[in-house]
Amino acid sequence: MAPHDTLPRDGQSILALAARSMFQLFSNISQGMFLVDRAGTIVWVNEGYKRFLPALGYSSIDQFVGHKVEDVVPNTQMRRVLETGQPILIDLLTNRAGTFVVSRLPLHDEARGEVIGAIGIVLFDHPETTLQPLIHKFANLQRELDDARRELARQRRTKYTLASFVGTSPAAVEVKRQARRAAQSSSPVLLLGETGTGKELLAHAIHAASARAAAPLVSVNIAAIPETLLEAEFFGVAPGAYTGADRKGRDGKFKLADGGTLFLDEIGDMPASLQPKLLRALQEGEIEPLGSNQVVPFDVRVIAATSRDLATLVREGRFREDLYYRLNVLPIRVPPLRERQGDIAALVESVGEEMAHRNGTPPPELDEGALALLSAQPWRGNFRELRNVLEQAALRTDAERLTSADLLAVLRESGVQQIATPAAPPETQAAAQRPARDPLRPLAQQVAELERDAILAALAHTGGNKLAAARLLGISRATLYERLPNVSENKALSEK
C-alpha cells in the first residue's frame, strides 16, 4: 500500500493537488523541462525547452517528441536514472546547445514498485554567469584547501640536514659518521642523549639523507600528549568510533608517515599500557584504528629518541625489554656540549647568524674572554641553554661585542648551575710574570713572539684542537702546522 493511501480523503486530495502544483511550479521557474517514459522516449516538452531545440537540430516540438532521449539530447544521463531509479539532483550537461545545470528525477509507481519514467529539468542555462558567486566561493575554498595542503607538506618536510649539526670536534664528527651510516639502512634508530643535544635535528638529518627523503617525516612527542589520547594519535580513529568522533574518521601518525619516517620523541615516556600495541605494530607492519576491526598496513622507518636511560627503565620493569630490543637496533649517542668544548665557538657563530636572520640585526660578536667563559661552562641544558644565554646577553647590551662580564650577569641570574670561570692558561701566566718587552728589539723577533702568543692562546682556547685553532686565527691547518715548531722553539728560548 502506498503511504498516501492511509491519508484521509481530504489528505489525498491535498497531496494530489500539491503534486500538480509542484510539477507546474518546476515547469514555470525552470529554463526548460521534459518527460520520458519507462523506455526513455520523450513524451512531453514544456514551452521553455523550445528555445534549445534549434541548437539540437529540431525546428518544432513535434519533431522532438517521440525520440529516445539519448538520440536527441547528447551526453544525457537520463538512461541511468531510469535503470537505477536514483535521482541526479545537480549535474552539469554540455552539448551542442550549450552548458547547463540540470536535474533528473525518476517517477515511481509506488503501487507496482517500479520506475515509470523520469523528468529532466534545466535549472540554469548559463552557469558561468548565474552561478558566478557560488563558483567564486568554491574557487576560494579550493585555493584555501590547496594552501593548507602545501603548508602541511612544508611542515612535514625535513628542516635539517647533517650540515645543520654544527661542530668539528671528534665527538661531533663521530656522531655525523654514525648518522650517515644509519641513513643508508631502513632499520630502527635510537638516539640517546641529554635534552638539548640535537636529537630531533639528527632525526631530520637521517631522514633527509635516506632513500625516504621525498616521503613525509612525521613527529610525535610522546611526553607532550596525554596518555588517553596517545593511542588515537598513533593508530587513528575509525568513523564514529565514539561520541564526538569525526564521522569521516581520522588517520593516525603511522598512516600519515606511510612511505616515510616516523620520529618518536621521548620514547622513554611511553605508557606501559601502550607499549605492547606499539611493539605489535612495529613487528607486524599494520595497525588497527580505534573502533575498527580492520587492520591497515603501513610502511615506515622508525627513529626514536630519549633523554632517559632506557636500559635502567627495562631493569626496573618500566619499559618492555622486547620493545627496547626492537628499537635499539642502531643506537647513536649524542654527546653533551661539555664533551664538545671545541665546538662552542662554531655553535656561537651559528646561533648568532640565526639571531641576525630572525631579528634583522648584525650577529653578536664575542671577545676572547667571553668565548673562554662559554667554553668553560658545563651546559646542563646543552644547546638550548647556550642559545638562551646568548640571546639574553645580546638583548641586554647596546655594545657591538659581548664580554665575559655580559655573559656572567646572565649566568648568575639564571641560578640553574654554578658558574665555571676559565683558568688562565700557563703561557698567559708566564707572560704576565715576564718583564715588558723591549720595543727596540729586531722587528722579526717581535713579530715571531706575537705570532707565538696568538697560536698558544688559540690552542689553549680550543683545548688543543688544531683545526679549530686554525679557524679561530683565520689561517689554514697546514700553515698552523708550519708554525708549530717555531712556537715550541721560541717558547723554549723565552723560558731560559
Residue 317 lies in a domain: yes
Residue 144 lies in a domain: no
What pLDDT, on a 0 to 100 scale, did the predictor assign at position 172? Answer: 93
Do both 292 and 432 map to the same domain? no
Residue 21 lies in a domain: yes
Residue bearing the bigger pLDDT, 82 or 127: 82
Domain boundary, last residue among 280, 302, 335: 335
Arithmetic mean of pLDDT, 123-130: 74
> 310 exposed, middle or buried (CB, 10 Å; 0-12, 13-18, 19+)?
buried
Is 145 a residue whose pLDDT tops 60?
Answer: yes
Q: Model confidence at 432, in pLDDT bands (50, 70, 90)?
A: very low
Do both 327 and 353 map to the same domain? no
H or E element: which one contains 2? none
Q: Name the DSSP class of 362.
A: P
Q: Model confidence at 485, in pLDDT bands (50, 70, 90)?
A: low
Is 228 a residue whose pLDDT tops 80?
Answer: yes
Domain boundary, last residue among 414, 443, 460: 414
Span 33-78, pLDDT tens digits: 999 999 999 999 998 898 899 989 898 888 999 999 999 999 899 9
Residue 431 lies in a domain: yes
Arithmetic mean of pLDDT, 165-183: 94
What pLDDT, on a 0 to 100 scale, did the predictor assign at position 6? Answer: 53
Do both 73 and 204 map to the same domain? no
Q: The domain spanning residue 471 has which CATH number? A: 1.10.10.60
Q: Model confidence at 96, in pLDDT bands (50, 70, 90)?
A: confident
Residue 139 lies in a domain: no
- Which of 156-165, 181-190, 220-229 shows the highest mean pLDDT? 181-190
Do both 408 and 490 map to the same domain? no
Rounded to 10 deg, the angle between the 368-375 and 404-414 helix axes is 30
Do both 215 and 330 map to the same domain? yes
Span 54-65, pLDDT tens digits: 989 898 888 999
Do both 59 and 166 map to the same domain? no
Do both 168 and 233 map to the same domain? yes
Q: Model confidence at 496, in pLDDT bands (50, 70, 90)?
A: very low
Is 428 a residue whose pLDDT tops 50?
Answer: no
Span 154-163, pLDDT tens digits: 555 667 888 8
Task: Quote the number of domains for the chain.
Answer: 4
- Which of 12-21, 139-148, 195-204 shows the highest mean pLDDT? 195-204
Q: What range defines the domain where residue 60 resides?
A: 3-124
Do both 43 and 187 map to the same domain? no
| C-alpha–C-alpha distance, residues 466 and 455, integer Å | 9
Between 284-298, 308-322, 425-439, 459-473, the lowest mean confidence (pLDDT) is in 425-439
Do both 326 and 342 map to the same domain? no
| Phi, psi dihedral angles at 34 (to 5 degrees) | -145, 160
Q: Which one, of 61, 131, 73, lies nearest residue 97 by Cα? A: 73
Q: The domain spanning residue 113 has which CATH number? A: 3.30.450.20
Is 316 a residue whose pLDDT tops 70?
Answer: yes
Do both 293 and 167 map to the same domain? yes
Percent of all residues in the chain with a pLDDT value above 70, rounded to a whole number: 83
Do both 329 and 223 map to the same domain? yes
| C-alpha–C-alpha distance, residues 257 and 302, integer Å | 10
Is 167 a residue whose pLDDT tops 60?
Answer: yes
Q: Which amino acid is at 338?
A: R
Residue bearing the bigger pLDDT, 191 or 355: 191
Q: Name the DSSP class of 60.
A: S
Residue 22 lies in a domain: yes
Arithmetic mean of pLDDT, 162-182: 93
Residue 481 lies in a domain: yes
Q: Model confidence at 434, in pLDDT bands (50, 70, 90)?
A: very low
* Alpha-carbon torsion (271, 276, 280, 286), positive or negative: negative
What pLDDT, on a 0 to 100 scale, did the predictor assign at position 489? Answer: 43
Q: The domain spanning residue 388 has which CATH number? A: 1.10.8.60
Q: The domain spanning residue 209 has which CATH number? A: 3.40.50.300
Residue 148 lies in a domain: no
Arithmetic mean of pLDDT, 110-114: 84
Do both 99 and 57 map to the same domain? yes
Q: Model confidence at 493, in pLDDT bands (50, 70, 90)?
A: very low
Q: Which one, of 158, 156, 210, lies nearest residue 179 by Cα? A: 210
Q: Is the pTM of this model over 0.95?
A: no
Average pLDDT taken over every residue of the chain:
83
Domain boundary, last residue among 386, 414, 442: 414
Residue bearing the bigger pLDDT, 57 or 144: 57
Residue bearing the bigger pLDDT, 103 or 467: 103
The DSSP annotation for 176-237 comes to HHHHHHHHT--S-EEEE--TTSSHHHHHHHHHHTSTTTTS-EEEEEGGGS-HHHHHHHHH-B
Arithmetic mean of pLDDT, 449-462: 77
